[in-house]
Amino acid sequence: MQREEKQLEAALDAIIMRVNDLKNSIAAMIFKIEHEYETLNWPTFLDNFALLSGHLTSLSKMLTHDKSPPLRNLTVLPLLLSQERDEELLRLTEQRVPAFAHDVVPDYLRSKPEPEVESKMIQLEHKAASLSFETTQKQMTAYSKVVSHVWEIVSKAREEWESEGSARGGATQTSSVTDTHTLVAAVALGKGLKMMPQGVQPGSQGMMMAPLGRPGSGGPPGQPGPGGPMNPNQQQQQMGPVGKAPSGIKTNIKAATQIHPYAR
């Protein structure tokens, strides 16, 4: 008897530890759902659910182990019922049960489900027993088809996601970092730009400008005629700013040798 009692105490202690682990995991999951619902994602929820499943699996293995005592053959009986506050009971139940009174005994020492739950279970058992074998097979076949269809949809979506991910990872490069740095340096610092040669005006495509004037004269005052000397200021005005890139606008400049409209 002493050996069986020691074995029972050891098994109960191990079961209590497993139950406490399961209870803490459930409390942590409920806390995350209630307080971290804005930042809670699906993988984290699945991890918590897998942790709960692991605790339940280990608890069921412990209960069905060969060395575990048959708890079904044991009965829990109340030794003392009292309406007064019990501090030790309050500590053991984590501040949930202040007194082991007549109103809490049926709930905490119940070995069968509640009457309402038990009646519903009996109705479902009778309904399942009344079905014929053919009806049961048809329902199972229909359920299997639904599950297979859902599995195909999920598998297809997974393959598409994986293919899209691999395509994004192996996409061809459409830009060059070196060319980008070269363009930025040219625009911001003028690096790599060349000055226009003297005697060529930007935008004229290599043609010399000839000022228009009256026939027989050297042009307007302050401007030399064709082939005449030019001062540095006028040359700089025609050349434009030093280091400025040539304009892309095409110009059509007429030569001064054509007939003047006011000539007689």
d(CA 244, CA 133): 93
CB-based burial, 10-44: b 16+ in 10 Å, e otherwise: ebeeeeeebeebbeebeeebeeeeeeeeeeeeeee
Q: What is the pLDDT of residue 214?
A: 43
Q: Has residue 105 been placed in a domain? A: yes
Q: Has residue 185 been placed in a domain? A: no
Please, what is the Cα angle at 117 between 132 and 143, to 5 degrees? 40
Q: Which domain holds residue 63?
A: 1-72
Q: Do 119 and 137 fall within a single domain? A: yes
Nearest C-alpha neighbor of 216 from the set 259, 250, 174? 259
Q: Are 210 and 230 in contact (CB under 8 A)?
A: no
84-123 pLDDT, tens digit per residue, is 888 888 888 888 888 888 888 888 888 778 888 889 999 9
172-186 pLDDT, tens digit per residue, is 667 788 889 888 888
Task: Report the CATH number that the domain containing residue 36 is assigned in CATH.
Answer: 1.20.58.1710
* Helix (H/G/I), strand (E/B), else coil: 50: helix
Q: Do 96 and 118 fall within a single domain? A: no
Q: Do 66 and 122 fall within a single domain? A: no
**pTM for this one?**
0.41
Residue-wise DSSP of 88-134: HHHHHTTSS-S---TTTHHHHS-SS--HHHHHHHHHHHHHHHHS-HH
Which residue's entry shows tokens 């499943």? Answer: 53
Q: Do 5 and 62 fall within a single domain? A: yes
Q: Has residue 243 been placed in a domain? A: no
Q: Do 87 and 42 fall within a single domain? A: no
